[in-house]
Structure 1
Amino acid sequence: MEATKAFADSAKADPIAVKNDFLHTPFMRAALPFINGGAAGMVATTVIQPIDMIKVRLQLAGEGVKTGPKPSPLSVTREIIAAGKVMDLYTGLSAGLLRQAVYTTARLGFFDTFMKKLTVRAKEKGTQIGFAERAAAGLSAGGLAAMIGNPADLALIRMQSDGLKPLAERKNYTSVIHALQSIAKSEGVGALWAGAAPTVVRAMALNFGQMVTLIVADYLGFITK
């Protein structure tokens, strides 16, 4: 009780200091890379979701069609707006946000965690982190995050493509939870990881490419410390 009262009194006296102390606790230091990564990804998804929706519609619009006019981003956008379904541009937003909350959070969080451990080990040995170790950290973080986030990625694609199916075949997903439950119920839980292999490879390649770019930029002096 006395400790709780003391903490409450200190919070009233200097709330900013208490907030800073909380942010520097071991738990928050470990969690912040995950939180920051997920939050950044979710904000980005909210902004670009209409563009991603149009991209998916474009990719699926010409399926099985070899001749005739090809749809353009502008024509797809006009078609959606003309149908009075402007909010369709945000179809799958809940899945996109979940994907970022899981995938981006894990990808950046794992990478930061791996790099901190490598830094500690390098200091103990009196050496520097090598390229191979950085590569392993980047590839591992990307692969693990992609595997964890695959169900949300699959739900996003299913939700965005559902509107192109005949009315009788549409699932009419109402949310990412509905999509995940529907897929698991009708196709089995394992179906949530359909396409996981190429997704993992893509994520590993993305992380590796970003890492190499940062290393080169640092070597050329573009990154100030």
Structure 2
Amino acid sequence: MTSQPRHGLSPASVETIAGLSAGLVATIIVHPLDMIKTRLQVDTSAHPLLNSSRSVLRDIWRNEGSARISALYRGLTPNLVGNSAGWGLYFLWYRKAQDVIRKIRGYQQDQRLTSVDYLSASALSGALSAVLTNPIWVVKTRMLSTSATQTGAYQGLVSGLRSIYRTEGVRGFFHGITPSLVGVSHGALYFVAYEKLKFWRRQSQKTDKLSNMDTLMTSSLSKIFAGLLTYPHQLVRARLQSHDPTATTYVRRPGIIALIKQIWYNEGIVGYYKGLFPNLLRVVPSTCVTFLVYENARWSLPRMFGTLE
């Protein structure tokens, strides 16, 4: 008697689909705030932290004419591709990294990982996804920090990648990779806090499935915690990845150490936190949406399609 073929999704597929879906939905919702944050980060003048978001919106309203709404969504394609791919790869490798750690350390299947284990899994998956998606982030930063009407401005993801390769070579795809890798600490801190809060909440509720409100609270608190500690790396990365679209030749930018010193001397400590306010407005709802979609998709997909062991 022949056995019936099994149909379903592998655990890795569930993680990837859930991560892609989460990144897609969250990015569309908060993209305008991402654009505001990026323009503040690359601005080297002295703006008050809380009022500068208004100045960016005011400039768009005055200068973009009938294209004001579309201007708020400039760079959406690389943002969608980067976030979806980044979250998808992150969740896929985060799950695989945990499996590898369990095997190396000889854990039982139901044995919980330690904070160091979660930190290691998050750092490894974050580093891999950061390297692979960095070219997309370079294009995204340059599109979000410029107007579509500027001479030499990128018109899309593909044209941006072609332009970088033509003018800067392969090396151009990896501007800002060092602060991106430093930024892995953000994801690591976030996931350690998220896993711990989620575990404590499950223990108190005595259930394996958290409510949507529980997910919102744990993801928000974890994101604020990690964001406040690691925000300066985002600003440094944006400065390294930005460019002057009107320049006819590539101008080599200062290195990361020189840039950090330059910000300190010219803008002070406040300079490292430009765009923090819209960033918090962006990342908290973005993270909440991401993890609501991720946790619900991760829970429902195996029940809809089954899983392969």
Shared fold (TM-score, shorter chain, > 0.5):
yes
- Percent of paired sites with the same residue: 23
Give the structure, 1 or 2, with the largest relative contact order (CA under 8 Å, sep 6 or more).
2
Do structure 1's residue 54 and structure 2's residue 36 form an aligned pair? yes
1:161 corresponds to which residue?
Answer: 145
Residues of 2 paired with 1:71 and 1:182: CA distance?
Answer: 34
1:115 corresponds to which residue?
Answer: 98
Superposed structure 1 runs of 4+ greater than 6 Å apart: none
Kindly indicate whether the alpha-carbon contact (under 8 Å) linking 1:92 and 1:160 is maintained by their aligned counterparts in 2: yes
Kindly indicate whether the alpha-carbon contact (under 8 Å) linking 1:50 and 1:90 is maintained by their aligned counterparts in 2: yes
Residues of 1 paired with 2:198 and 2:112: CA distance?
Answer: 18
Kindly indicate whether the alpha-carbon contact (under 8 Å) linking 1:139 and 1:208 is maintained by their aligned counterparts in 2: no
Question: Measured at CA, do residues 52 and 133 of structure 1 come closer, stay the same or move farther in structure 2, by a change above 3 Å?
Answer: same
Do structure 1's residue 79 and structure 2's residue 62 form an aligned pair? no
Kindly indicate whether the alpha-carbon contact (under 8 Å) linking 2:32 and 2:72 is maintained by their aligned counterparts in 1: yes
Matched residue SS, 1:123: coil
1:144 corresponds to which residue?
Answer: 128
**Which structure 2 residues correspond to residues 1-225 of structure 1 after superposition, within 5 A?**
21-24=6-9, 28-61=10-43, 63=44, 65-66=45-46, 72-82=52-62, 83-85=65-67, 86-119=69-102, 121-123=106-108, 128-163=112-147, 167=150, 170-219=151-200, 221-222=203-204, 224-225=207-208
CA deviations over 1:105-134 (Å, ceiling 9, x no partner): 11111001222344454127x965333322
Matched residue SS, 1:23: coil
TM-score, with normalisation over the residues of structure 1? 0.75
Residues of 2 paired with 1:47 and 1:40: CA distance?
Answer: 11
Question: Measured at CA, do residues 22 and 181 of structure 1 come closer, stay the same or move farther in structure 2, by a change above 3 Å?
Answer: farther
CA displacement at 1:81 relative to structure 2: 3.3
Question: Measured at CA, do residues 66 and 140 of structure 1 come closer, stay the same or move farther in structure 2, by a change above 3 Å?
Answer: closer
Matched residue SS, 1:162: coil
Question: Measured at CA, do residues 71 and 49 of structure 1 come closer, stay the same or move farther in structure 2, by a change above 3 Å?
Answer: same
> Which amino acid letter does the alignment assign opposite residue 146 of structure 2?
D
Question: Measured at CA, do residues 67 and 33 of structure 1 come closer, stay the same or move farther in structure 2, by a change above 3 Å?
Answer: closer
CA displacement at 1:181 relative to structure 2: 1.2
Matched residue SS, 1:163: coil
Kindly indicate whether the alpha-carbon contact (under 8 Å) linking 1:91 and 1:159 is maintained by their aligned counterparts in 2: yes
Question: Measured at CA, do residues 101 and 66 of structure 1 come closer, stay the same or move farther in structure 2, by a change above 3 Å?
Answer: closer
Matched residue SS, 2:7: helix
Residues of 2 paired with 1:116 and 1:202: CA distance?
Answer: 24
C-alpha RMSD of matched pairs (Å): 3.1
Question: Measured at CA, do residues 36 and 128 of structure 1 come closer, stay the same or move farther in structure 2, by a change above 3 Å?
Answer: closer
Give the greater-gyration-radius structure (CA). Answer: 1
Residues of 2 paired with 1:173 and 1:23: CA distance?
Answer: 42
Question: Measured at CA, do residues 161 and 29 of structure 1 come closer, stay the same or move farther in structure 2, by a change above 3 Å?
Answer: same
The structure whose residues are more often helix, as a share, is 1
Residues of 2 paired with 1:43 and 1:189: CA distance?
Answer: 31
Matched residue SS, 1:151: helix
1:3 corresponds to which residue?
Answer: none
Kindly indicate whether the alpha-carbon contact (under 8 Å) linking 1:183 and 1:191 is maintained by their aligned counterparts in 2: yes
Could you list the runs of 5+ residues in structure 2 that have no partner in the other structure? 209-309
> Which amino acid letter does the alignment assign opposite residue 180 of structure 2?
T
> Which amino acid letter does the alignment assign opposite residue 22 of structure 1?
H
Kindly indicate whether the alpha-carbon contact (under 8 Å) linking 1:58 and 1:71 is maintained by their aligned counterparts in 2: no
Kindly indicate whether the alpha-carbon contact (under 8 Å) linking 2:12 and 2:95 is maintained by their aligned counterparts in 1: no
Matched residue SS, 1:136: helix
Question: Measured at CA, do residues 205 and 37 of structure 1 come closer, stay the same or move farther in structure 2, by a change above 3 Å?
Answer: same
Give the number of equivalent residue pairs: 198
